[in-house]
Amino acid sequence: MTLTVTTPVTGAAQTGFTTPTYTLLTDVAPVVYGRQYAVSAVGGTQTGVRVHAVSDPFTATLQRAAVLKPLPAPNPVTLRYGSIPKNTTLINIRKGVNCAANQPPETMTCRLYIDTPAGADSFDAPNCRAALSLLIGVLSQISSGLGDTVVTGVP
């Protein structure tokens, strides 16, 4: 599997953070076709950010579909495809967050699903890569604004 992260990870810009970094330890993924990492240390200025603990998680899980689906044969009469299956890649970030004083952390979950139509991986790889390139570029560009929106509720 090529969903491998090297440590430390340089975080994206967020309001109040200066050059955030995250040191990762390899963890046990909850699925066979996944990799999981736990944050063991943070760097830069991230006042109040806690590292991973059993009761206060800070993990990243990367997983591919358990069974990769191929493009099915077309209808022999019409030569058209019916339903085209999707192969799903998942990135799941879990972070313990406090909701009130004297309460245990609750888990915030950030999930990114990438549903790739079967066959596109080999027939149109450049455009699959272009979609991901744009996605990651947009996420990187809006990182601070997205954080502000999650915190303030204002888009």
The reply to whether 27 falls in a domain is yes
The reply to whether 87 falls in a domain is yes
The chain-wide mean pLDDT, for the chain, equals 93
pTM of the full structure: 0.88
* pLDDT value, residue 73: 93
Q: Into how many domains does the chain fold?
A: 1
The reply to whether 75 falls in a domain is no
Q: What's the CA gap between 88 and 67, in Å, rounded?
A: 10
Return the C-alpha torsion angle 134, 140, 141, 146, nearest 10.
Answer: 110
Residues contacting 83, CB < 8 A, separation 6+: none
With a cut of 70, say whether residue 67 has pLDDT above it.
yes
The reply to whether 2 falls in a domain is no
The reply to whether 26 falls in a domain is yes
Q: Which CATH number goes with the domain that contains 60?
A: 3.30.380
The reply to whether 1 falls in a domain is no
* pLDDT value, residue 2: 73
Mean pLDDT along residues 128-145: 89
With a cut of 60, say whether residue 17 has pLDDT above it.
yes
3-state SS class at 53: strand
Q: Could you give the residue ranges of the DSSP H alpha helices within 29-124?
A: 120-123
Give residue 87's domain range: 9-70+83-152
Name the strands in the sheet holding 18-27, side by side, starting at the edge strand that comes first in the sequence: 9-10, 18-27, 34-45, 58-63, 86-97, 106-117
Band the pLDDT of 26: cuts 50, 70, 90.
very high
* pLDDT value, residue 134: 85
* pLDDT value, residue 123: 93
3-state SS class at 81: coil
**Checking DSSP bridges between strand 18-27 and strand 9-10, what pairing results, if any?**
antiparallel
Q: What's the CA gap between 24 and 58, in Å, rounded?
A: 10
Q: What's the CA gap between 21 and 73, in Å, rounded?
A: 47
The reply to whether 76 falls in a domain is no
Mean pLDDT along residues 54-70: 94
pLDDT in tens, 85-134: 999 999 999 999 999 999 999 999 999 999 999 999 999 998 899 889 98
The reply to whether 130 falls in a domain is yes
With a cut of 70, say whether residue 1 has pLDDT above it.
no
Q: Express as a percent the part of the chain with pLDDT over 90.
A: 81
